[in-house]
Amino acid sequence: MRHHRTANRQPVGFTLVELLVVIGIIGFLITISGVIIGNMLGTSKEAATKATIAKVHELIMERSRGFDVVQDSNAQVYKNVERFKRIPDAKSTGFVDYRVGFRKATLRQSMPTRLLDLNALTMISGGSSQTVVPPATQLYTDFNTGWDTTKHQPETLSSELMYFALTNGIAFFQATNAADQFTSSEVMDTDGDGRMEFVDAWGKPLRFYFNPTRLFRPGGNGASLDQTLITTMFPSLSKYNLNSDPDDPNGKFLQEFIRNYLVRVNPPNNIPSPPPAAQVNAALVEFENTFHTPSTYQVPLVVSAGPDGELGLYEAPDAANFGHLAQPITDSTGTINYDVLYDNITNYQGI
C-alpha cells in the first residue's frame, strides 16, 4: 500500500507553484531584455542625433571661417564694408565699429534664425549685383517662393532656415553641396510646408540659435551666468571667458554703441558727465534687441530636444520672450524647468 501511495504521488508535470515561478522568470526576462533593447535603441538614437548635429556644426564653422577669409581678401566684400561704414543709418543705429557690426550682420544673414535675419544686410545690399554678398531680398524671396505657410509649424523654422542657408545661401566660397551629406532620415519636411528641415533621430526638428546668449545669461543684461545651463549645454566652452563677446573681446564695439546711443538721446551732442545710469541701461537694452545680450559669450547653437522631445527653450521666432537668444522657458514664478533641458543634445557636448 505504501509503495502504491508513493508511486501515485509521483509528480507527472509542474505544480501550480512551479508554473507560476517559471512564468514569473520568463516575464522578468522579457522585461529585462525589453529594457536593454530600449536602452540600446535610445543610445543609438542619441549617437545618430549627435552625428547629424556634428555635420551641421562643421558646415556652420566652415562658413564662418570662409567669411573671415573673404572679409580680409575679397575686394567685393571690402567694398561692402566701406559702404557699410559710410551709410548714415549705420551710425544712428550704433554701427560705429563697422567691421564688428558688419561681421555680426553678415554672419546672421548667412546663418539666419528668423525670417527677418534674411534681411539683416538689406541696408547695404542696394540691389546691385554682388557675387559674395548677394542682395538680401533675393534670399528672402527665394525662401518664400513655394513655401506653404498654411502648413508651417513655428518650431520648424530655424531648422528650415539653416537648411536653406546651407544649401542655397551665401557660401563664402565654401562647398555648397551641403545636402549631399545628409540622409533622408536626417532631413525631412515634417510639417509638409515645402521647406526641408534637419531632424533628430526621434523625428523632431533640430533648432538653431545664432546668438544663444540667454542660455548663458537667462536674466539678460546684468544678470549672472547660469552655470547649470552652461555645464549642461556648453560643457566644451568652460575654458573661455563667458563674460565677454568673442567678436568684441575688449568691449570696444559695445562702448561705441553706448556712446552713439547717448549722442542720439542728448542732442546736440551734450552728454552729461557722468551719463545717467538709466540712459546707459537703455542703450544696453537696445544692444540686446539689436544684437544679443551684452558682454556675453555667444556661439551658433544647434540643439535637439533629446529623448523627451521637450526643448525647454522659447522658439527662435518668439522675440517677445527672447526666443531668438535661446531664452529658457520659465514658469509664472520665473523658475527654469531644468528637467526638460538635461537630455538636450547640442554641438558643444564634446562632439
* Interacting residues with Ca ion (CB under 5 A): 152, 156, 189, 191, 193, 195, 197, 305-306, 308, 310, 340, 343-344
CB 283 within 8 A of CB 257: yes
User: For residue 192, what are the contacts with CB-CB under 8 A and spacing of at least 6?
Assistant: 148, 151
Q: Which residues of 4-20 are buried (b: 16+ CB within 10 A; e: fewer)?
A: eeeeeeeeeeeeeeeee
Nearest distance in Å: CB 227, Ca ion: 19
**Closer residue to Ca ion in complex, CB, 62/308:** 308
Nearest distance in Å: CB 219, Ca ion: 22
Nearest distance in Å: CB 228, Ca ion: 14
204, with CB counted inside 10 A (0-12, 13-18, 19+), is: buried
**Closer residue to Ca ion in complex, CB, 204/217:** 204
Minimal CB distance to Ca ion: which residue?
156
Q: How far apart are CA 168 and CA 125, in angstroms?
A: 18
279, with CB counted inside 10 A (0-12, 13-18, 19+), is: middle
**Closer residue to Ca ion in complex, CB, 133/345:** 345
CA 150 to chain CA centroid, Å, is: 24
- φ/ψ (deg, to 5) at 203: 80, 10
**Closer residue to Ca ion in complex, CB, 191/248:** 191
**Closer residue to Ca ion in complex, CB, 142/308:** 308
Nearest distance in Å: CB 151, Ca ion: 7
Nearest distance in Å: CB 141, Ca ion: 17
